[in-house]
Structure 1
């Protein structure tokens, strides 16, 4: 099957980037039967990354599977800023790690930190263990599964927290709404429920001079900065307009 024929099927199903997706599917399929099945799944609304089993993130190929949050391009900004702050041989924690995409960027950085990652979703943890074979990956709620020995020793704590307000989850594209876990999307009434929990606990885990980084929405930024300051951190905002990314970087004094 040619790119044009696959693209026509995808376009008819409403795929905006039909030609690009067709090339990815053709490259991934080993047989015509497998290609037909992949095209059918994508046309039915499954995320392309779930169909082919991977997502590109900061130039890395990250394994993802059905039911696992697909790393977003905007989160590359969070990952790169976090990687730039890790001291050589330091300790890094990827909280709400999902597939482990941010942790993979930290692991591939020149600093090569001692890496720990955690997520509450079992499917995400299974993916993260594939993507982070050299890291310690835990299943549990936020800090709960981390070894107590990490307290006060974490140089960089990065958390890709969910920040969509509960009332807006239904407005998300069906690829996210129907195929990704709600725990990876729903940030509570104002989108900051999980971020506030992370900010409240972070100071006891960070090393002196350590940094907490997390993604947020632009509307939520003032409240996110206030929350970090209220817990004794020194927060600042950073943004990348091209990626439509907004993050908070908060340092422990």
Structure 2
């Protein structure tokens, strides 16, 4: 299969960046037969990352397998914010970790930190294990349920890219996500904040005093995310990145346990 044929095939399938994708497919395939099969899968609408078997994320190559949520470029902003807060002696948890992309960034940024990652999906946990160092501890289950009791009250950086797409908006997502990623990795309930609220409600029980909860959200949903954090006693700061088209809500657990009400930092 010639390069020109690959580009033509991809463009006909609706791939906007056909040349870039063709370059990646050619560089990844090891035989002409494998290349033809990969081009065929991509033309059928499979996510490019599932076809390649990896996704680029913060300069890392993250293994991505079928049935696992593909890390988005916008989430690089979340990872960068978390990495800047994690100290070498800290304790980090990547909740709803998917392929473990954020946790992998944290492992590089603070190799001495105690690192945990958790997800509901067995496929995601297996995939994350391949992307994380052997010292990372993986947990499978619903949010905080599978975490060891000894982790309670010790987490200094808790990161969650929980699903936040409103249920009614899922039919309008690109086919790569809508048809090839598990629905539970996308569906955030009626307003998109159902899973986020559960993450936020549990966070104060697991964060160390002064610990931070970071959640990726949308510009439109950010006020709701911030309000939920404040209602659970966290001091909230919203940060945005135009380059990544991303918004992150950061909630800090007060050092003083008697403080019950959070506040929103608007600067």
Query: Same fold per TM (> 0.5)?
Result: yes
Q: Helix, strand or coil for the counterpart of 1:45?
A: coil
Contact 1:87 1:111 in 2 (8 A): no
**Matched residue, 1:48:** 48
Q: Helix, strand or coil for the counterpart of 1:126?
A: helix
Q: Which runs of 5+ in 1 are unaligned?
A: none
Aligned: 1:247 with 2:248 = yes
**Matched residue, 1:238:** 239
RMSD (CA atoms): 0.9
**Runs of 4+ off more than 2 Å:** 1-5
Aligned: 1:86 with 2:86 = yes
For residues 111 and 43 of structure 2, what CA distance do their matches in structure 1 show?
42
**Matched residue, 2:132:** 132
Aligned: 1:151 with 2:167 = no
Matches for 1:32-111 after TM superposition, within 5 Å:
32-110=32-110
**Matched residue, 1:204:** 205
For residues 131 and 77 of structure 1, what CA distance do their matches in structure 2 show?
19
Q: Cα offset for 1:149?
A: 0.3
In the TM superposition, what whole-angstrom CA distance separates every residue of 1:70-121 from its partner, at most 9, and x where no partner exists?
0000000000000110112210000000000000000010453110000001
Contact 1:86 1:111 in 2 (8 A): no
Contact 2:160 2:214 in 1 (8 A): yes
Q: Helix, strand or coil for the counterpart of 2:238?
A: strand
Q: Helix, strand or coil for the counterpart of 2:247?
A: strand
**Matched residue, 2:178:** 177
TM norm structure 2: 0.93
Q: Helix, strand or coil for the counterpart of 2:179?
A: helix
For residues 29 and 112 of structure 2, what CA distance do their matches in structure 1 show?
34
For residues 84 and 111 of structure 1, what CA distance do their matches in structure 2 show?
13
In the TM superposition, what whole-angstrom CA distance separates every residue of 1:9-55 from its partner, at most 9, and x where no partner exists?
10011100000000000011111100000000000000110001000
Contact 2:87 2:110 in 1 (8 A): no
Q: Cα offset for 1:217?
A: 1.2
Q: Cα offset for 1:2?
A: 3.9
Contact 1:4 1:19 in 2 (8 A): no
Contact 2:94 2:158 in 1 (8 A): yes
Q: Helix, strand or coil for the counterpart of 2:244?
A: coil
Q: Helix, strand or coil for the counterpart of 1:49?
A: helix
**Matched residue, 1:218:** 219
Contact 1:86 1:92 in 2 (8 A): yes
For residues 198 and 47 of structure 1, what CA distance do their matches in structure 2 show?
28
